[in-house]
Structure 1
Amino acid sequence: MNEYDSDFLAQSLISSGFSPVDNSKYADIILINTCTVRAKPEQKAFSLLGRMSELKQENPGLIMGVVGCLAQQKGHELMKRFPQLDFVMGPRDLGRIKEVLRRIDTDGEKIVATDLEPGPPQPVTCQGYFGGRVTGYLSIMEGCNNFCSYCIVPYVRGREISRSPEEIMIEAKNLISEGIKEITLLGQNVNSYQWEGVEKWDFVSLLREITKLDGLLRLRFTTSHPKDLSEQLIQCFGDLDKLCPHIHLPFQAGSNPVLERMKRGYTREKYIELIEKLRTVRSDIGITSDVMVGFPGESEQDFDMTLNLIKRVQFDALFSFKYSDRKGTLAAEMGD
């Protein structure tokens, strides 16, 4: 999702007459796109901001901003801690980037734009931007309604808002016209995509429509939530030739008591059942996942159950993370 947001910002600026530079020393504007899902990327952002302060001293006219989830969560705190910043902007305000830069240039004001009300920004596709790339990202929705007990995403990305199928199809066609052959559909939980207009759309109907586009060779999507993985979506892996045989399906823990405290909405047994159904429909499907260790209250027995699930499923790749408290979440108040 952050790569998509960065592409959006870059194309927005290019369409306004700006050009990218290879060295930050020669930049007139620096945007730092951030993540706050875990503590480590947050710490990296703070470290980078500290180093970037020297550039501001050398070039007082440099405009520097922090965008993304860290900006949404700690906007005013960032402005106080790093006075060299000119603005911070949350994920749902990215469509205001031109307006914000204009206000800074005209009035010299410091701006905190962290409004969760605006919807996803309108797509911008600059001719030649992708420069020979064959893969591209396309956001179909923004936000999350799941409120897993450890997750900060609903608080910094807001509630779910789906983009219209018409808008998605236009952006997909634009990507294809720029030479993109493989598109990855993005969302915090793509399975819950829904749109009600003249016709009612869900994620399955969207997949089926996009795969009809001429010039598109491959289609992927991420991320999926196990509790929303329907039989119809699973069947798409058998029906749609352009849909790559791969799914990223985070399980997070292999212990039912831990899954319950995480508020994941499924059991260990249900997850294994979904994996079996996926492999029945498409025997060569690649399955990757996320797992978290050290969740509050996790026992040795809970941990062993997680290891057991990993051995049983035999994932093609696994992203493992150590639990870190996210202020404002239920898990942060649980204690160990």
Structure 2
Amino acid sequence: MNNLVVDLDFIDNRTAEQAACETKISAETNTGRSRKLYIESYGCQMNFSDSEIVTSILFKEGFDTTADINKADVVFLNTCSIREKAEQTVRHRLVHINGLRKRRPGLIIGVLGCMAERLKKNFLEEEKIVDLVVGPDAYRDLPNLLNEVDNGQKAVNVLLSREETYADINPIRLNSNGVSAFVSIMRGCNNMCSFCVVPFTRGRERSRDPFSIIREVQDLVAKGFKEVTLLGQNVDSYHYTSEDNLVQVNFASLLEKVAQVSSDLRVRFSTSHPKDITDEVLYTIKKYDNICNYIHLPVQSGNSRILDLMNRTYDRDWYLNRVDAIRRILGEDCGISSDMITGFCSETEEEHQDTLSLMDYVQYDYSYMFYYSERPGTLAARKLTDDVPLETKKRRLAEVIEKQRQLSLQRNQMALNQVHRVLVEGFSKKSNEHLSGRNDQNKVVVFPKLHFKKGDYVDVLITDCSVGTLMGEPLI
């Protein structure tokens, strides 16, 4: 089992990214339609974004959404295969949902997303616990597939596409706070990291046309949203070329176009790949005050040999060069976060120490930390031996977690006695007398409510901090 480790100090103050591998249930809409759709999403932000696309497609087919699974006619689990733990969670959940058929005999159960792509035969032929299996590139086919199920058949479409970007579909925002929204700019991945299943479950990389992206952002601004996060498995490799070759847009220029939609709109993005992030992107961030001063830059390991085995296509020196560029161009206060895997195939104690020393050099604000477990079908599963004992993986992971706790606290202490601009996202987790939002560096800030409300920008003097949260007083 491979677990996402979240320290307790972070639990009540997670950003959307920190809530990875967590369930999210669709919101309630009642327009008098005859059928109700219920969706649970697992995994990355891209899955949450995909669920909003699915909802939009089925809304046009006569579906409302419900937040109560007991009222649903169709239940979809939008799944993740990146970790074994996520797959196990979905399997347990499917067993439970199947029990609902006793009360709702006509209930349709479907699996969407990466697990659908990877385990279609298991679901339909062996376990027989679902009616419908649909991969990430086949959501337009959902009306036809549901019709097959209505007629008593099992339905499946897990074909991958080299063209599908869902550019013309306006997502229906689920569980939206009305302040922040995800905007998908590309799909798939061309990187073949040896530990990762994404290229096999989401297909090859393709970029969405920039005109549809800008239209979606403009629509969000018109509806009162104050922040967008541009999503892609590797946003830095975004590249669009028009059919006549007259229009070419890379990620830096797309980022600029989005920032120019409204100076009142905050712009974030995820995820960057160390091999592709350019100085041009960094200077674009510096140029626009509304592009947040924060970069998620997964390293996975601090040792060059392990990085080569992971097929990350960069080494330690290259990664540190990119970190140096971020600090030089954007300043020491730019937020940097990372992903790290301990105990990868053949990792030695000295190589593990390289990860800890790299963490000291970079000074990450926070990280997503895992110990390695083999994923079927990956290059590592086929070519490498998972030979680091589980106890060693866990011990190394604990050391990485403790190192990150120290670094997170140190980085948060840098904000003390400084004023940070915070976009209010809602009440704090612990009190309706306090509001919560994020600052430019993607850190959660909690402060007294006073007369402020969701969607406001508030200047907050930081007076205290924990490992996961900044606390302060609003400047009136």
Normalising by the smaller structure, the TM-score range is over 0.9
Report the Cα distance in structure 1 between the residues aligned to 2:176 and 2:201, rounded to whole angstroms: 32
In structure 1, what is the equivalent of residue 350 of structure 2? 301
Q: Quick check: which has more Rg, 1 or 2?
A: 2
Deviation of the 1:161 alpha carbon: 0.9
Report the Cα distance in structure 1 between the residues aligned to 2:253 and 2:303, rounded to whole angstroms: 34
In percent, how many aligned pairs have the same letter? 38
Higher strand share: 2
Deviation of the 1:216 alpha carbon: 5.0
Deviation of the 1:132 alpha carbon: 5.0
User: For residues 153-173 of structure 1, what are the alpha-carbon distances to aligned partners after superposition, in whole Å with 9 as ceiling and x for unaligned?
Assistant: 000000001111112112222
SS in 2 for 1:91: coil
In structure 2, what is the equivalent of residue 60 of structure 1? 105
Deviation of the 1:215 alpha carbon: 6.7
Deviation of the 1:271 alpha carbon: 1.0
Relative contact order (C-alpha < 8 Å, sep 6+): which is higher? 1
Say whether the 8 Å CA contact 1:287–1:317 is kept in structure 2. Answer: yes
In structure 2, what is the equivalent of residue 251 of structure 1? 299
Say whether the 8 Å CA contact 2:117–2:135 is kept in structure 1. Answer: yes
Deviation of the 1:41 alpha carbon: 0.3
- One-letter amino acid of the structure 2 residue matched with residue 257 of structure 1: R
Match of 1:112 among 134, 140, 156: 156
Q: Does 1:18 align with 2:57?
A: no
Q: Does 1:146 align with 2:191?
A: yes
Cα distance, 1:273–1:155 mapped onto 2, change above 3 Å: same
Cα distance, 1:108–1:323 mapped onto 2, change above 3 Å: same
User: For residues 10-47 of structure 1, what are the alpha-carbon distances to aligned partners after superposition, in whole Å with 9 as ceiling and x for unaligned?
Assistant: 23333333222232111101000100011110111111
SS in 1 for 2:218: helix
In structure 1, what is the equivalent of residue 315 of structure 2? 267
Deviation of the 1:131 alpha carbon: 5.8
Q: Does 1:28 align with 2:73?
A: yes
SS in 1 for 2:249: strand
Say whether the 8 Å CA contact 2:227–2:265 is kept in structure 1. Answer: yes
In structure 2, what is the equivalent of residue 75 of structure 1? 120
Q: Does 1:202 align with 2:250?
A: yes
Report the Cα distance in structure 1 between the residues aligned to 2:114 and 2:375, rounded to whole angstroms: 12
Report the Cα distance in structure 2 between the residues aligned to 1:130 and 1:42, rounded to whole angstroms: 23
User: For residues 211-239 of structure 1, what are the alpha-carbon distances to aligned partners after superposition, in whole Å with 9 as ceiling and x for unaligned?
Assistant: 11137510011011000011111212211
TM-score, scaled to structure 1: 0.95
In structure 1, what is the equivalent of residue 31 of structure 2? none
Deviation of the 1:120 alpha carbon: 2.0
Say whether the 8 Å CA contact 2:167–2:208 is kept in structure 1. Answer: no
RMSD (Å) for aligned C-alpha atoms: 1.7
Deviation of the 1:242 alpha carbon: 1.4
Aligned residue-pair number = 335
Say whether the 8 Å CA contact 1:49–1:82 is kept in structure 2. Answer: no
Which runs of 5 or more residues in structure 2 are unaligned?
1-45, 388-476
51-60 vs 305-314, which moves further: 51-60
Say whether the 8 Å CA contact 1:4–1:138 is kept in structure 2. Answer: yes
- One-letter amino acid of the structure 2 residue matched with residue 313 of structure 1: V
Give runs of ≥4 in structure 1 deviating > 6 Å: 126-130
Say whether the 8 Å CA contact 1:75–1:88 is kept in structure 2. Answer: yes
SS in 2 for 1:264: coil
Deviation of the 1:127 alpha carbon: 7.6
Match of 1:292 among 341, 345, 356: 341
